[in-house]
Amino acid sequence: MTENKMTLTVDAISINVGFTRSVVAAFVSQLNPTVEEVGDIKTAVSEAITNCVVHAYSNNGGQAQIKVAVKGKIVEIEIVDYGQGIDDVAKAMQPFFTSSYCEERSGMGFTVMQAMMDTLDVTSSLGVGTTVKMTKKITSSVEV
Amino acid sequence: MEVISKREADKTVIYLLGELDNHNSAYARSKMDALLEDVGTNIVIFDLKLLSFMDSTGIGVLIGRYKKMKDTLQMFVRNPNKTIDKIFQMAGLYQVFSKV
């Protein structure tokens, strides 16, 4: 099985959300995914990085690390922040739950990640940070 | 991203162009509000043909516009790409923005 990986560290600021999802999409393109599969992965990454910007660091900046590995036809993505952490992960993952109602936030970030990817695992510690792990199988891919 | 409007008979079509995420949501929100305030028709269609990307930030932006204008406007959506269509379905957005 062919394996390849990359790590990217960015400032968790909103202008880097688009940059990060584009980098991940470019890396994943080696698996020949469909346009829809790339769209799904970009959306999930965008949600995770936006959470870092808005929730982990409350728009005050910080660092986010993005690790991507392709193993055969499987894409593994891990996004780590060192921000304030999530008090109750299960509650945060409920559809339409948001801690920022005044900003027109939908509270659908984790729900969208779950829908776009095959697996989603979130671990968090208050004052330490949050790690989001996601995987997706690229069904259309030709193994190289 | 950009937001423009065009009149189509008795409807106003608001085109969202580019990528809608947290970074440009404030601009999208204010531009859409300005266009909707001055719309001149009772029916508005959001055309997403040229919207290449939208994450859940877009859900909040669209629901926010719906809440502001629902008493005076009928709002519809058309031409979402497959990923955006998936987001609309999971968020129940088609219940307030019928697809035309």
Contact between chains at B64 and A104 (C-beta distance less than 8 A): yes
- For residue A108, give the nearest of B19, B82, B91 by CB distance: B91
> Cα separation of B76 and B73, whole Å?
10
The label of the residue with tokens 């979402």 reads B80
Span A7-27, pLDDT tens digits: 999 999 999 999 999 999 999
Q: Which ipTM value was assigned to this complex?
A: 0.91
Q: How many CB atoms lie within 10 A of CB A123?
A: 14
pLDDT in the model for residue B90: 92
Q: Smallest Cα–Cα separation from B3: which of B11, A66, B25? A: B25
- 8 Å CB contact between A65 and A8: yes
Contact between chains at B55 and A18 (C-beta distance less than 8 A): no
Contact between chains at B83 and A50 (C-beta distance less than 8 A): no
| Chain B residues within 8 A of A43 when measuring between CB atoms | 53, 55, 83, 87
- 8 Å CB contact between A8 and A20: yes
pTM (two decimals): 0.93
Span A37-52, pLDDT tens digits: 999 999 999 999 999 9
- For residue A53, give the nearest of B22, B87, B90 by CB distance: B22
Q: List per-residue pLDDT tens for chain B, 100 residues long.
A: 999 999 999 999 999 999 999 999 999 999 999 999 989 899 999 999 999 999 999 999 999 999 999 999 999 999 999 999 999 999 999 999 999 9
Span A110-131, pLDDT tens digits: 999 999 999 999 999 999 999 9
Total number of residues shown for chain B: 100
